[in-house]
Structure 1
Amino acid sequence: MLLLSNPLTRPPAWLRPVFPGSEWHGAPVGASGRPQLYLTFDDGPIPEETPWVLEQLAAYQAPATFFCVGDNLARHPDIARAALAAGHQLGNHTQHHRSAWNSKNTEYIAGIAECERNLELVRSKEELIPGAAAPSLSASRLPLFRPPYGRLTWPLLRLLRPHYRVVMWSLLTRDYDPGLAPERALRLALAHTRPGDIIVLHDSRKASRSLRFLLPRLLAQYREQGYEFAALY
């Protein structure tokens, strides 16, 4: 995610205007009148973590959005289809998880397009799963995109916005940070959570230690605090 010299649980206020039109939070209150949170997972799908994540989400009937790396989609399409069948959403996280700051615009856009083709292939085969839900991507809505590391440039943002909803975040769990103890990551996340937050976790091997500590506890404590979980659509 966003790599600053001092990574923050919440992005600083000055950062949002830098990427105009990007989404940093969702509706704070749902139709039920309860406060809402939006769970998102980056970098999967992989067999070591994503099925476990799906089990945790199912226990709380919590919908989520998985921003998938195209390379992982190509290797593990059945896991992505299982996420769709469970009612979750899939978003684009580029084909190779490369930083926009270190890529040519043409190469970066090509990586997004390749990932989108993998996503379309996964969705087109969704009906092969017994009991699959209806496809979670509506033809009338733009697909979702999150830039790796939260890094974009203004020219790329202008190119992407007509074709994608560019989704950032308002709460970063920092589960990828080996220098942050999982217990402290949990305290920080709970202390800084606000209604409408888009929360970032990672279904990746790098984040495994913190992810497996954080996710069940966040789900339980958010539910105890009266939050409900909502999809980005």
Structure 2
Amino acid sequence: MPKHLQSQDNILSVEHITKTVGENESKLTILTDINMNVKYSQTVALIGESGSGKSTLLGILAGLDNASSGDAYLLGKNLSNLNEDQRAELRSDAVGFVFQSFMLVPTLTALENVQLPALLRGEQDITTRRDAKDLLTKLGLGQRLNHLPSQLSGGEQQRVALARAFSGRPKILFADEPTGNLDRKTGDYIIDLLFSLNQDYATTLVLVTHDLGLAARCEKQYQLIDGQLHAVTV
């Protein structure tokens, strides 16, 4: 790893990331020469217009997608040197996700959805169930543990998604437009919960949003313009 990326304060570092799709005349450049560092427990916002490459960058940072060139380091590991199984293991151990579309399993109850990541890791003890129940109760869903997603409101579903994301005590959480499918009042409530959990668990937060008010709540902001990343002076 280059010396300037070696800081033990950085949970995430990227250098000269480029992403292209297609070939020859149909080649499209989505990201160009992306450089950024994210410290442990820091809150970071990625802003930009629709189609600017925010979600593509988030996928690369989280090891869900591969860059065409450049290096991305998560928890000191170069993601481009890991195969898919190794990246999945890293995500399972240290990464949480919150998406705009909730991504709950429709046939599982709220409690079972929150337990799912632990079960996939092979953890099936009583502590897993208790922790999931405690998280849901903390988020005001203590009376909704056994409800299916279809029996919950949008705000309740996103709270279940938050509980699931934090259930493994992740070191870093990636949130992609987490309030995009919610009305303003419910969205504000969800964001308050997100930042509260971020504080409680000292979890690094990388947030994709087009909401400048939400971005302003983060310690650091970056803006993507035509595939290029610019630090925003706050």
Question: Which interval holds the TM-score relative to the shorter structure?
Answer: under 0.3
User: Which TM-score applies when normalising by structure 2?
Assistant: 0.27
Select the structure of larger CA radius of gyration: 2
| Greater strand proportion | 2
Structure with greater contact order relative to length (CA < 8 Å, sep ≥ 6) = 1
